[in-house]
Amino acid sequence: MLEIENLHASINGKEILKGVNLVIREGEVHALMGQNGAGKSTLSNVIVGHPAYEVTQGSIRFNGKDLLALKPEERAHEGIFLSFQQPVEIPGVSMVNFMRAALNAKRKYQGLEPLAAGEFLKMMREKRKIVELDNKLANRSVNEGFSGGEKKRNEIFQMAMLEPTLSILDETDSGLDVDALRIVAEGFNKLRTPQTSAMVITHYQRLLDYLKPDVIHVLLNGKIVKTGGPELAMEIEKKGFDWIKEEAGL
């Protein structure tokens, strides 16, 4: 589904990714771990097409398509979703209008008619339940005045609405209390299907206990230096990253 080959990317002239290779297949959940500043968020931002990052080498293919040639909105329409580490507040744009614009843009891309107002609102109601999001939140401006936990739940709610095939969760567990973490993780699991994949960025085992990833990658200094099964995450939780760094000769 997602094939990243020798990806180099920089921001403001500074190279952050230095040759990333990664393949995620249909139905798989991959976890991406690594120290602060290793390039995890950069990788997710490059995949979704953040304009601040420049790809200097390499390629990303998504379902066979050259992803780097597509605009951010087109990548979203192709089925890529990023749950932001820091969801953005947009005062004055209501959640309803925001979701309607997003959903109908995707439908248009797929050659479908816009959803009728009634159907859309019904869908909003149903999907909200997945992350136990309050009805009132839907009428408020996007993320404005939301607590940290509400913002993250709102990300998963949007994911539920847009039904992506590849979801990237960038530290979706940060700033969440145990209950909120459970709601978010269980919400995510409800949305999983054999056709959907995910890349999960996290520092903590707790989220992975819920999500049960198939593959763990360690990204250090702009490269994936180690890949393993779920046991790798537990080892990192116990021993930290130093031994991996030594192994990789960093």
Partner 1 sequence: MNAEKQYIDLFAECRTMIDGHSVLALNARRDEAFHAFQEIGFPSKKVERYKYTDVSALFLPDYGLNINRLDIPVNPYDAFRCDVPNLSTSLYFVVNDRFYDKVLPKVSLPQGVVVTSFQKAAEVYPHLLEKYYGQLADAKTDAINALNTMLAQDGLFIYVPKGVVVERPLQIVNILRADVDLMVNRRVLIVLEESAQMKCLFCDHSIDDVNFMATQVCEVFVGENAHLELYELEETHVKTHRVANMYVRQSAYSTTTMDSITLHNGYTRNQTDVMLDGEGCETNMYGCVIADKQQHVENNTLIDHRVSHCISNECYKYVLDGSSIGAFAGRVLVREGAQKTVSQETNANLCATRSARMYTQPMLEIYADDVKCSHGSTVGQINDAALFYMRQRGIPEEEARLLLKFAFVSDVIASIPMDALRDRLHYLVEKRFRGELSKCEGCKLCK
Of the candidates 23, 79, 20, 84, the residue with the CA atom closest to the CA atom of residue 50: 84
- Can residue 243 be called a binding residue for partner 1 (CB under 8 A)? no
Q: Count the residues of the shown chain that bind partner 1, applying the rule CB under 8 A.
A: 31
User: Which of 30, 40, 77, 128 is in the footprint of partner 1 by CB under 8 A?
Assistant: 77
* Length of the chain measured in residues: 250
Of the candidates 169, 196, 197, the residue with the CA atom closest to the CA atom of residue 185: 169
- Can residue 85 be called a binding residue for partner 1 (CB under 8 A)? no
| In the complex, minimum distance from the CB of residue 72 to partner 1, in angstroms, rounded to a whole number | 4
Of the candidates 136, 164, 127, 147, the residue with the CA atom closest to the CA atom of residue 24: 164
Counting Cα atoms < 13 Å in the Cβ hemisphere of 167 gives 28
Residue with Cβ nearer partner 1 (50 or 203): 50
User: Please, which residues have CB within 8 angstroms of residue 235's CB and are 6 or more apart in sequence?
Assistant: none
CB 207 within 8 A of CB 171: no
| In the complex, minimum distance from the CB of residue 15 to partner 1, in angstroms, rounded to a whole number | 22
- Can residue 151 be called a binding residue for partner 1 (CB under 8 A)? no
- Can residue 102 be called a binding residue for partner 1 (CB under 8 A)? yes
Q: Where are the alpha helices (DSSP H) in 83-204?
A: 95-109, 117-130, 135-139, 148-162, 178-191
Residue with Cβ nearer partner 1 (69 or 90): 90
Stretch touching partner 1 by CB under 8 A, among 12-20, 68-76, 180-188, 205-213: 68-76
| In the complex, minimum distance from the CB of residue 233 to partner 1, in angstroms, rounded to a whole number | 27
Q: How many helices (H) and strands (E) does the chain have?
A: 10, 12
Token look-up 């002239």 returns 13
| In the complex, minimum distance from the CB of residue 61 to partner 1, in angstroms, rounded to a whole number | 19
Tell me how far the alpha carbon of residue 31 is from its chain's centroid.
Answer: 11
Distance CA 87, CA 151 (A): 6
User: Which of 25, 54, 65, 73 is in the footprint of partner 1 by CB under 8 A?
Assistant: 73
User: Which of 13, 64, 92, 194 is in the footprint of partner 1 by CB under 8 A?
Assistant: 92
- Can residue 55 be called a binding residue for partner 1 (CB under 8 A)? no
- Can residue 141 be called a binding residue for partner 1 (CB under 8 A)? yes
Tell me how far the alpha carbon of residue 178 is from its chain's centroid.
Answer: 20
| In the complex, minimum distance from the CB of residue 174 to partner 1, in angstroms, rounded to a whole number | 17
Instruction: Write out the residues near partner 1 by the rule CB under 8 A.
Output: 48-51, 71-73, 76-77, 81-82, 84, 87-93, 97-98, 101-103, 105-106, 109, 141-142, 158, 162
